[in-house]
Amino acid sequence: MSYIVILVANRQAGPLTEADAAHAKDFCSGQHLNWLSAGQAAEFIVKNIPDIAQLQMVLAHKSVDVFVTKFRGRRKAVLLADMDSTIVTTETLDELAAYAGLKDRIAAITARSMNGEIDFPTALRERVAMLKGLSLSALERTWGETIFCPGARTLIATMRHFGATTALVSGGFTFFTARVAAELGFDINRANTLLDNGSELTGEVAEPILDRDAKLATLNELAAKRGVKLAATLAVGDGANDLAMLQAAGLGVAYHAKPVVAAQVHNRIEHTDLTALLFAQGYPSSVFKGTEA
């Protein structure tokens, strides 16, 4: 079996040079060096999976993300993405809590949950309960301040252009996922539903809670609907709630991930942006679609 090693550099830290790419290829006993984006992304074929950590250490360029995928079936038919801290830059629940004067308290619970230290459904119910009585206008204000992660728009536009099903599946809330999906063009969005009385939050969230098991179930469901195996799926996320889908997907990528996730997922975006997911699938920058706001 053959594999592909993909190098993606953070351009702000300097270009990926011909020497960098050649050195990496030789270190891995690779063949057929190919450039996906001049000075930014290159790939080569290997027979055995290399040690990514060692490869990153020997590269002169220290802001390079390294991905390893199977040679066959690189372009995925299904993309499943987390929202908070993956497609958008913030944890929307934490930002919403700021309008109740509770951001620090709720963010501390969020951080523990995302690192797998607290059961996710329990943590979600606890945090939502603390927001009882918060005006619905806070949701609109929070949305107005929400920023997309670099590369998100290009990622979704390009994958949809090439026929992939794109799904936003979040342990956050439908209020935000619906808006993100509409803005970026996701085919599907799923999340939890905050309950309200028409003017204020009730401090409750609709059951059942969308958690890590629901994300994994969605991955399986969408693959089945497309008539493809899990090998033809791509998942991206950052927290413990994403770990099951990242490990099950044909290509699971941890995005600036929490330590518990980074320790268990070898394909990681640590230096670059979401367009690295396109390079990892073999898309050259010349075919990228969409424009970043």
DSSP 55-82: HHHH-S-SSEEEEEEESSS-S-SEEEE-
Q: Is residue 281 part of a domain?
A: no
**Domain span at 35:** 1-72
Count of residues making up the chain = 293
Q: Is residue 40 part of a domain?
A: yes
Number of compact structural domains in the chain: 1
Give me the mean pLDDT over the 173-200 stretch: 98
Q: Is residue 234 part of a domain?
A: no
Q: Does residue 1 surpass a pLDDT of 90?
A: no
Selecting among 84, 238, 242, 273, the annotated active-site residue is: 84
| pLDDT, position 293 | 44
Quick check: helix, strand or coil at residue 250?
Answer: coil
| Range with the poorest average pLDDT among 171-185, 219-233, 278-292 | 278-292
Q: Is residue 124 part of a domain?
A: no
Residue 220 to residue 279: CA distance in whole angstroms: 24
Count of helix runs (H) and strand runs (E) in the chain: 12, 12
CATH classification of the domain holding 37 = 3.30.70.270
| pLDDT, position 292 | 67
Q: Which residue has the higher pLDDT, 166 or 57?
A: 166
Q: Is residue 1 part of a domain?
A: yes
Cα–Cα distances (Å) from 245 to 89, 139, 235, 260, in that order, read 20, 28, 6, 14
Annotation marks residue 211 as catalytic: no
Residue 224 to residue 231: CA distance in whole angstroms: 12
Arithmetic mean of pLDDT over the chain: 96
Annotation marks residue 104 as catalytic: no
Selecting among 20, 65, 82, 238, the annotated active-site residue is: 82
Could you tell me the pTM of the whole model?
0.97
Confidence of residue 119 (pLDDT cuts 50, 70, 90): very high
Closest CA to 271 of 282, 262, 263: 262
Q: Does residue 145 surpass a pLDDT of 80?
A: yes
| pLDDT, position 181 | 98
| pLDDT, position 290 | 86
Can you state the angle between helices 103-114 and 120-129, rounded to 10 degrees?
A: 170
Q: Is residue 206 part of a domain?
A: no
The one-letter code for the residue type at 264 is Q
Q: Is residue 59 part of a domain?
A: yes
Give me the mean pLDDT over the 9-28 stretch: 96
pLDDT tens across 266-290, in order?
999 999 999 999 999 999 999 999 8
| Range with the poorest average pLDDT among 37-41, 53-57, 134-138 | 53-57
Share of the chain above pLDDT 90, in %: 95
Q: Does residue 39 surpass a pLDDT of 90?
A: yes
Q: Is residue 18 part of a domain?
A: yes
